[in-house]
Amino acid sequence: MLRSVYNWLDKRLYLTKLFQSTAGHHVPANSGSWFYVFGSATLLCFILQIVTGTLLALVYVPSTNEAWKSLQYLNHVQYLGWYLRALHNWGSNFMVALMTLHMVQVFLFGAYKYPRELTWVSGVFLLVATLAMAFTGQVMRFDEDAYWGLGIGASITGRVPFIGDRLVHLLLGGPIIAGETLSRFFALHVFVIPAIIIGIVGMHLRLVLTKGINEYPVPGKPVRRDTYDGEYEKIIEKQGVPFVPDAIGKDLIFAALVLVLILAFSAIFGPAGPSGPPDPTRVDTVPRPDFYFLSVFAALALLPDWMETIVLFVMPVLMVGFLFILPFISGTGEKSARKRPVAVLSVITIFLVLGTLTYMGDTAPWSPKMNAWSGQSVPVDLLQHRTPLEMRGALVLQNKQCRNCHSLEGHGGQRGPALDDVATRLTRDQLIRQVIQGGGNMPAYGKNLSPAEVDALVAYMLTLHPPSHPPARDSAQPQISGNPNAKERGVGEAVRKSMTGKSQ
Amino acid sequence: MKAAAAALPLIALLGFNSGCGKPTGQAKQPEAVMDFHQLFSENCSACHGVSGQKGAGPRLNDPLYLALVTKQDLYNVIEKGRPGTPMPAFAQSSGGPLAEKQIQAIVDGIEKDWAKPVNLQGAALPVYSIAKAPQGDAKRGQAQYMRNCMMCHGFGSFKGMAGPITDPNYLALASDQYLRTTAIVGRIDWGMPDWRHRIPGHVMNDQDISDVVAWLASQRPKGYMMAENQSTNNSSSNRSGPGSEREPKQ
């Protein structure tokens, strides 16, 4: 009776065939090794992230005013809400770590070589997408760490030649980090990137099925394009076992272990943040990104300015690009790590560099220079012949920690442009606007500056130009100078904007 | 066995990161620093100048000023800051970065390194604290201003070579105590003479100084200052720390 029901269903749904071609497909017996468990564990993490993420989305409110509060609610009010957050957080940490292990294993085992190039390429896409998830996820916390992560991310983006500004605009939903920014990242984190990941995972898995799992590499048996397919078929014929139930055992054990570890880590270490609420003027806090990005930020902090652009744009493009073309430039040859010293060495080097940078990022304060505001004096010749008001402006500049991002005579943070000759670039109105509305990676100070402070600050900045080079004139900005009330209008409008746009 | 071996590096990898799991949001404070020069150069030199002078803020490396103030005066300002001005509160109890003993080290260092006996040339040292000084009279103050200050700071459309101190936005950011301090000791480092040397043969007295400060304070935009107009000591610290939000009372 049951049998006939099954047969009826099978005739229509091809269940047996489906099983045979997927879970039941034959894999080389020696690939049922402990080294082969990381891929499935990564997938497990991803599924866990979908489940916990969906649950989080039930409470989370993606608005600047509510996001931080709803996380506080989860942490302190909602029963086990903190645990849910912890699971999502640790699930993400584990996913990144396992994915990395998986990738290293695939690389060292030569599994990316012919004929599995596309499996590797789709994997690289997954790497990028997963890191994008991790980044957008840390923005969801919308605390000070997120704010700074975003700020720095935006400043990196802003340096893309030619289209930098537009990219920043696209990314942030405007010139500054505000409500639109969070909505955008929410959409990315919850809809767009997961959909992409699910799609690519499907392709990744299908390629794993159709092209087979890499056999355990044997030193001295190089891959050749013309013979490999035949050899692999022979291996499967001779010692192939069905993935389910024979080869899956270790995956299941490892998956259980990962699950237990995630549960335990979540219970022991709890969720991440949210740290202080995002307040652009509190530069004296030490926000830091999640650990997988620490290395990038450490590199940023340590590099001399002129190298930043190279390291930020050229290196990632080169690295990801290299990953993409790897199977095409070394698609054949030895698979075993024992015969590939260069491969092993490069893995070790990369991890040492990343590890060192992460360690530095974790221990050293990174840019912006957190104590420039109180430690870098205003150069004497930039104070000479200033009026008392302008002097106070210099003090406001220090007090409001502008120096943490802006240098004077080479001293101070390098996040923003040096201000030594800012008066040659910006007019009074533009200076007011920049201070109040921010822009690029500069926080909007808005209501955090009193009108007197703005006035003093701008008065001082207007004195910052070389004697030979006159300050910028309003006439370059006819639309502003045409209005006698431009200053008042500018400030009022900017304050209004920053108040409606920014979190309280 | 093998499973444990595979899991160990994983645990190690994540273990070092475990600190991230806990919300801290607190800057790490290097409280260990007790050296005066390091403390001063990291916390004060930005505004008060590299060695306590030629900064945009008041000159602290000034024997005359140090003859005027007590250690307690210094301590109070550093502890609580001057709300409404760019002088931030440094005590941890006021949300600042420094421990009490560090503030004390700064005060001791300032006195030890920079205080010297001063020759008052027969003039009496005026009172420092605005709380203990005689009540000022703004009307008389204007006359004193015209007499003692106008040449350099101007009046009306005459700007003066040192720039106006009657600018409302300037006054909104400077406390009465600072005005009094500067009226007494001047800014020798920037070329402003002290209370004895403004007009040949004339020494401003306590009352003159109070009057000038009262007149300047009356030029300040309405509603701008400031709890500690009366005293440097009662600055009810409404600030949460350097750079934190501070709304002018409108």
**pLDDT at position A180, please?**
80
Nearest-angstrom CA–CA distance, A353 and A336? 24
Nearest-angstrom CA–CA distance, A395 and A159? 30
Provide, as residue numbers in chain A, all residues whose Cβ is less than 8 Å from the Cβ of B4. none
Query: Among partner residues B17, B27, B247, which is closest to A285 by beta-carbon distance?
Result: B27
The alpha-carbon gap from A19 to the nearest alpha carbon of chain B, in Å, equals: 28
Provide, as residue numbers in chain B, all residues whose Cβ is less than 8 Å from the Cβ of A282. 241, 243-244
**pLDDT at position A260, please?**
93
Question: A395, A402, A404, A407: best mutation site toward chain B, by most B Cβ within 10 Å?
Answer: A395
CB A300 within 8 A of CB A148: no
Q: Are residues A341 and A478 in the same domain?
A: no
Tell me, yes or no, whether B72 lies in a domain. yes
CB B96 within 8 A of CB B241: yes
Q: Half-sphere exposure (CA, 13 Å, Cβ side) for A121? A: 15
- Is A475's pLDDT higher than 50? no
Q: Are residues B40 and B103 in the same domain?
A: yes
Backbone angles phi, psi at B85, to 5 degrees: -110, 170
Query: Among partner residues A269, A372, A386, which is closest to B22 by beta-carbon distance?
Result: A269
CB A254 within 8 A of CB A37: yes
Chain A, residues 106-125, CB within 8 A of chain B, namely none
Question: A85, A258, A262, A391: best mutation site toward chain B, by most B Cβ within 10 Å?
Answer: A391
Q: Half-sphere exposure (CA, 13 Å, Cβ side) for B192? A: 28
Query: Among partner residues A34, A391, A403, which is closest to B6 by beta-carbon distance?
Result: A34
* Minimum CA–CA partner of A260 in chain B: B7
Q: Is A220 within 8 Å of chain B by CB?
A: no
Who has greater pLDDT, A65 or B75?
A: B75
Provide, as residue numbers in chain A, all residues whose Cβ is less than 8 Å from the Cβ of B43. 371, 374-375
Provide, as residue numbers in chain B, all residues whose Cβ is less than 8 Å from the Cβ of A93. 14, 17
Q: What is the pLDDT of residues A7-34, one digit of tens each?
A: 888 888 888 888 887 887 888 877 777 8
Could A374 and B20 be called an inter-chain contact, meaning their C-beta atoms sit closer than 8 Å? no
Backbone angles phi, psi at A429, to 5 degrees: -65, -40
Tell me, yes or no, whether A149 lies in a domain. yes
Query: Among partner residues B45, B173, B248, which is closest to A377 by beta-carbon distance?
Result: B45
Question: B18, B28, B170, B171: best mutation site toward chain A, by most A Cβ within 10 Å?
Answer: B170
Q: Helices marked H in A188-290 — which ranges?
A: 193-211, 228-239, 249-269
Q: What is the pLDDT of residues A323-350, one digit of tens each?
A: 999 999 888 888 888 888 888 898 899 8
Query: Among partner residues A254, A362, A377, which is closest to B49 by beta-carbon distance?
Result: A377
Nearest-angstrom CA–CA distance, A488 and A445? 17
Cβ atoms < 10 Å from Cβ of A279:
19
CB A389 within 8 A of CB A397: no
Kindly state the percentage of chain B with pLDDT values over 70.
76
Provide, as residue numbers in chain A, all residues whose Cβ is less than 8 Å from the Cβ of B2. 34
Tokens, residue B111: 């006195």
Nearest-angstrom CA–CA distance, B164 and B158? 9
Q: What is the pLDDT of residues B144-195, one digit of tens each?
A: 999 999 989 999 888 888 999 999 999 999 999 999 999 999 999 999 999 9
Q: Is A504 within 8 Å of chain B by CB?
A: no
**pLDDT at position A305, please?**
59
CB A413 within 8 A of CB A405: yes
Burial class (CB in 10 A: 0-12, 13-18, 19+), A127: middle
**pLDDT at position B101, please?**
92
Nearest-angstrom CA–CA distance, A58 and A184? 18
Q: Half-sphere exposure (CA, 13 Å, Cβ side) for A72? A: 10
Kindly state the percentage of chain B with pLDDT values over 90.
56
**pLDDT at position A175, please?**
66
Could A395 and B24 be called an inter-chain contact, meaning their C-beta atoms sit closer than 8 Å? no
**pLDDT at position A387, please?**
93
CB A502 within 8 A of CB A178: yes
Question: How many helices (H) does chain B have, and how many strands (E)?
Answer: 11, 0
Q: What is the mean pLDDT of chain A?
A: 80
CB A394 within 8 A of CB B56: yes
Among A313, A333, A363, the domain-final residue is A363
Provide, as residue numbers in chain A, all residues whose Cβ is less than 8 Å from the Cβ of B23. 271-275
Nearest-angstrom CA–CA distance, B161 and B150? 10
Q: Are residues A442 and A393 in the same domain?
A: yes
CB A203 within 8 A of CB A223: no
Nearest-angstrom CA–CA distance, B65 and B230? 20
E strand or H helix that includes residue A28: strand A26-28
Q: Are residues A128 and A265 in the same domain?
A: yes
Who has greater pLDDT, A473 or B230?
A: A473
**pLDDT at position A309, please?**
67
Using CA atoms, how far residue A185 sits from A138, A144, A371, in Å, is 10, 16, 31
Nearest-angstrom CA–CA distance, B47 and A379? 10
Chain length of chain B? 250
Question: A262, A374, A428: best mutation site toward chain B, by most B Cβ within 10 Å?
Answer: A374
A and B: number of Cβ contacts within 8 A: 182
Could B3 and A89 be called an inter-chain contact, meaning their C-beta atoms sit closer than 8 Å? no
Q: Are residues A412 and A354 in the same domain?
A: no
The alpha-carbon gap from B122 to the nearest alpha carbon of chain A, in Å, equals: 30
Cβ atoms < 10 Å from Cβ of A82:
18
CB A169 within 8 A of CB A94: no
Q: For tokens 């940490």, name the residue.
A: A93
Could A273 and B25 be called an inter-chain contact, meaning their C-beta atoms sit closer than 8 Å? yes
Could A396 and B14 be called an inter-chain contact, meaning their C-beta atoms sit closer than 8 Å? no
**Domain holding A413: CATH number?**
1.10.760.10
Tell me, yes or no, whether B25 lies in a domain. no
Provide, as residue numbers in chain A, all residues whose Cβ is less than 8 Å from the Cβ of B158. none
Rg (CA), chain B: 23
The alpha-carbon gap from A147 to the nearest alpha carbon of chain B, in Å, equals: 13
Q: What is the pLDDT of residues B47-95, one digit of tens each?
A: 999 999 999 999 999 999 999 999 999 999 999 999 889 999 988 888 7
Provide, as residue numbers in chain A, all residues whose Cβ is less than 8 Å from the Cβ of B14. 93-94, 97, 265
**pLDDT at position A315, please?**
80
Kindly state the percentage of chain A with pLDDT values over 70.
83
Q: Are residues B95 and B143 in the same domain?
A: no
Neighbouring residues of A92: CB distance < 8 A, sequence distance ≥ 6: A45, A49, A133, A134, A137
Q: Are residues A159 and A82 in the same domain?
A: yes
Cβ atoms < 10 Å from Cβ of B174:
31
- Is A248's pLDDT higher than 80? yes
Torsion of CA A460, A466, A468, A469, to 10 degrees: -70
Query: Among partner residues A34, A284, A396, which is closest to B241 by beta-carbon distance?
Result: A284
Q: For tokens 């004077």, name the residue.
A: A408
Q: Are residues B175 and B108 in the same domain?
A: no
Nearest-angstrom CA–CA distance, A46 and A96? 10
Among B59, B82, B114, the domain-final residue is B114
- Is A393's pLDDT higher than 90? yes
Tell me, yes or no, whether A403 lies in a domain. yes
* Minimum CA–CA partner of A355 in chain B: B13
Among B114, B149, B165, the domain-final residue is B114
Could B7 and A380 be called an inter-chain contact, meaning their C-beta atoms sit closer than 8 Å? no
Query: Among partner residues B11, B22, B243, which is closest to A401 by beta-carbon distance?
Result: B243
Nearest-angstrom CA–CA distance, A129 and B151? 68
Q: Are residues A332 and A245 in the same domain?
A: yes
Q: Are residues B153 and B105 in the same domain?
A: no
Could A387 and B162 be called an inter-chain contact, meaning their C-beta atoms sit closer than 8 Å? yes
What's the rounded mean pLDDT across residues A249-269? 90
**pLDDT at position B17, please?**
40
How many folded domains does chain B comprise? Answer: 2
Backbone angles phi, psi at A12, to 5 degrees: -95, -35
Among A312, A343, A363, the domain-final residue is A363
Q: For tokens 């609610």, name the residue.
A: A73
Q: Are residues A417 and A307 in the same domain?
A: no
Q: For tokens 């045409």, name the residue.
A: A482
Q: Are residues A499 and A417 in the same domain?
A: yes
Backbone angles phi, psi at B187, to 5 degrees: -130, 75
To the question of pTM greater than 0.80 for the whole model, the response is no
**Domain holding B157: CATH number?**
1.10.760.10
Who has greater pLDDT, B101 or B19?
A: B101
Q: What is the pLDDT of residues A410-443, one digit of tens each?
A: 888 777 788 998 999 899 999 998 988 876 667 7
Tell me, yes or no, whether B92 lies in a domain. yes
Query: Among partner residues B19, B169, B246, which is closest to A455 by beta-carbon distance?
Result: B169
CB B130 within 8 A of CB B207: no
Query: Among partner residues B19, B50, B173, which is closest to A456 by beta-carbon distance?
Result: B173
Neighbouring residues of A59: CB distance < 8 A, sequence distance ≥ 6: A70, A73, A74, A78, A81
Tell me, yes or no, whether B184 lies in a domain. yes
Could A286 and B2 be called an inter-chain contact, meaning their C-beta atoms sit closer than 8 Å? no
Q: Is A21 within 8 Å of chain B by CB?
A: no
E strand or H helix that includes residue A240: strand A240-242
Q: Could you list the residue range(s) of the whole structural domain that residue A161 is in? A: 21-363
Beta strands in A357-458 (DSSP E): 407-408, 411-412
Among A333, A363, A393, the domain-final residue is A363
Q: What share of chain B is helix, strand, coil (3-state, %, to 5)?
A: 45, 5, 50
**pLDDT at position B140, please?**
95
Q: Could you list the residue range(s) of the whole structural domain that residue B81 is in? A: 32-114
Tell me, yes or no, whether B60 lies in a domain. yes
Query: Among partner residues A362, A374, A453, which is closest to B42 by beta-carbon distance?
Result: A374
Q: Are residues B36 and B76 in the same domain?
A: yes
How many folded domains does chain A comprise? Answer: 2
Could B97 and A284 be called an inter-chain contact, meaning their C-beta atoms sit closer than 8 Å? yes
CB A111 within 8 A of CB A36: no
Nearest-angstrom CA–CA distance, B195 and B178? 14
Cβ atoms < 10 Å from Cβ of A5:
9
